[in-house]
Chains A and B, each alone.
Chain A
Amino acid sequence: MTCIVNVKGLTKSYKNQSVLKGLSWEIEPGDVVGLLGKNGAGKSTLLKSLLNISDIDSGEISIFGEQYNQLSSKNKARIGYVPQENDEISWLSVNDLINFRKQFYSTWSDEKVTELISRWEIDATKKIAELSPGQVQRVLIILALAPMPELLIFDEPAASLDPAGRRDFLKEILTLVSDENITVIFSTHITSDLERIANKVAILDKGKICYFNDLDITKESVVQLTVHCKKEQGITIPYLLRGKLHSQGQYGVVSQLDQAWLAEMKEQAVEVTINPMGLEDIFLELTA
């Protein structure tokens, strides 16, 4: 399947501090990817780099098969983006801002705008500066959804929303994904949001995507193991994502449980404790 987003060897640094270190990533059509990462891990930098909002040091990025910094107008119209910080012109009214954006898109849906504005109770005559951060976030989401994009990129979209707003937003994304088969990439550190809508999870740590897999597989397969053994036994845990030695043996997080290896351990009378993990635990373990 052709990838919608393809990243190879992406590096980016700020003032000699490396943020992204040779990152590679592929997103397929229809994927709803939740990008997890600690504060300062580079989630926003990665998303901005994909869209050419932030310059990169090296690497290759392609979106819809075109080089990220030479996107045609046709492909630009297929992308919706909600930034983390609002940098819209603060003295424009919501109506003015909508009209300004509308002129660039032939696929603009006035119905969607009207529906969302009334559903989210936004006073469109108010200036951006007069809205609360949550309302601004909603306006930005409307602006991103109105051109009916095929690729939606959200940078911490629910950060300023109240619980009701967040639920409503997630519902909207779910509807879009099921009806329109669009691709969504969103960064967050609210794992419950991710679990609600994403079908894939990516974890960004130390400048690289250290984990990228289906969410269901992740929740089913990623487990925590404690192998009660001695160091001299030299046991190697297969599919190990992260592991460490401690006084009672080995401790590790694996991407999947190898049944053959488990049987082997049983034969050797090595006790293996298996603990299922929630997404938050997986994230904490992998980025610890």
Chain B
Amino acid sequence: MANILLRGWWAKIFIILLWLVAIAMRFTEHDDAREDLLFSIIAFSNFLLYLIVSMHLPLLTHSKMAVLLPNFSQQLKQVLLVVFGVSLLPTLLVLPDVVTWLAFISISIIAILIFVAMIYQPIYQIFFWLVILMPLPMALFDISLNKEKLFTTLAWLLPLISWLAYVLLNKLVNYRGNHKHISKIIATMNVSMGNTLSIQDSIPFANRTKLAQWWGNSHFNYYRKLINDATNSSQKLSNRKLIEISCQSANSFGVNAYVIWSVGITLLCMLALVIDESYHHLFTPMVTLIPALIIGTGSITLFQIIQCKKSYLARLAILPRFKQHNSFARAFLGYVFYNQAILYCFIAMLLAVTAKIFGHINVTVYLNSVLILLVYCLVTISMMLLTWRAAQNYGNPVVWLMIIGFIGTIVFTTHMATSGMVLLVYNGIFQWILIASLLLLSFSVFRQLTDK
């Protein structure tokens, strides 16, 4: 049962690596400033573990056989408790004192409750946004946060939180409701990481939420208009546009996504301008998370889409308009480069605006972040192209590599912001990394253009 809940070697290796890093840091670094970083690493790794378990839970609770298997609920409960217990073992080594440890357990339990609630009832996804937007009420109502007091309170609240969690756990292991929504989760969790998008795309339109229907429709309307305009005028769609239209999915990061993110960031910046500057640091997690979300939905999604559309694009490639040598490969490259260039320019611009308003990073860190993003972008495009050309399906490991590389990028950027690093462009190692990623990209483009 634990194997089902903890499916995925990449994720498990990543979590264990993070634990090891945290433990190594605990025994090698003696700087007090490291405590927050240690807490963040251990919280991130454990939360990732809890999220993975929560996402796999419906495979067990909502299986048809769940009601028929003897002692199913008890065994599931036992396994969940064991997984939770094991996840706390590294924290014993990493966290500095008992109060922090007890508070961490309380926070972990609350996080698990939120994750499970979000998975089983989509309405509870509001919790995620409440946590992200927490700085707003704190700034508006002038609530000061005393970490020590907060941790002591959480430590004292642990018995109550544990009791609540146990009651809910007993309900969860017997819960069979919300079948329509859970069937979508099960469909997604039944495939590997590389195929989650194609499964989501296969959900019938009528079965999607109203918001998802509106989002999909508004996204596709733009491309419908493109097709209609081309049909009504004498000007044909360019090859790149044709491929772009073919590569659209309900989950694509399109015009409406750019508009909504821009509006959201603008509102956030306007708010930051009217509140006291002393509260700006509360927004740092949020303004760090937003570019992360955009890369996640913009870059990884594009990779998955072109992987899913492989056979469709192969059929497109044999159309008469692509009869000229390499015309399809050039158009395809054009689409991928154009799409990613816009995405990363948008993120760079967004980072600049938020850095200016919130002042969470200085000019050097900003320039370094842009350089790291550039490397990440080059490597991502290379991986997309190489995987697309490969005969075997490497979608799953590549998505995980992208996620791990991406998280590594965030961690490195955070480290850079706190350690006052010099401009990376003058750093020898970085120069080699940049050259290597350019070479990798050149190789992948060359393969794209030469492969039959």
Contacts and interface: CB of A to CB of B under 8 A. Distances in A.
B64 A73 contact: no
B70 A91 contact: no
Contact of B68 (A79, A90, A96): A79
B391 interface: no
Interface in B188-205: 190-192
25 contacts: A48-B64, A51-B67, A52-B67, A53-B67, A53-B68, A76-B68, A76-B69, A76-B70, A77-B70, A79-B68, A81-B65, A81-B68, A87-B186, A88-B63, A89-B59, A89-B63, A89-B190, A91-B191, A91-B192, A92-B4, A100-B3, A101-B69, A104-B70, A104-B71, A104-B75
Given A92-B4, A104-B75, A83 B70 contact: no
Interface of B: 1, 3-4, 7, 59, 63-65, 67-72, 75, 186, 190-192
B126 to A, nearest CB: 28
A105 interface: yes
A51 B68 contact: yes
A20 B69 CA distance: 26
A224 B311 CA distance: 57
Contacts of B4: 89, 92, 100
Contacts of B68: 51, 53, 76, 79, 81
Contacts of B1: 100, 103
B190 A105 contact: no
B72 A91 contact: no
A74 interface: yes
Contacts of B192: 91
A91 B190 CA distance: 6
Nearest to B186: A87
Contacts of B3: 96, 100
Contacts of B190: 89-91
Nearest to A97: B4
A155 to B, nearest CB: 10
B70 A73 contact: yes
Contacts of A83: 64
Interface string A86-128: 0111111000100011011100000000000000000000000
A91 B192 CA distance: 8
A53 B64 contact: yes
A32 to B, nearest CB: 20
A131 B71 CA distance: 29
A83 to B, nearest CB: 5
B190 to A, nearest CB: 5
A26 to B, nearest CB: 21
Contacts of A90: 190-191
Given A51-B67, A87-B186, A100-B3, 10 more contacts: A48-B64, A76-B68, A76-B69, A79-B68, A89-B190, A90-B191, A91-B191, A96-B3, A100-B1, A100-B4
Nearest to A72: B70
Nearest to A83: B64
Contact of B71 (A48, A52, A73): A73
Most buried by A among B63, B69, B72: B69
A100 B72 CA distance: 11
A182 B263 CA distance: 67
Nearest to A106: B70
A91 B69 contact: no
Contacts of B75: 103-104
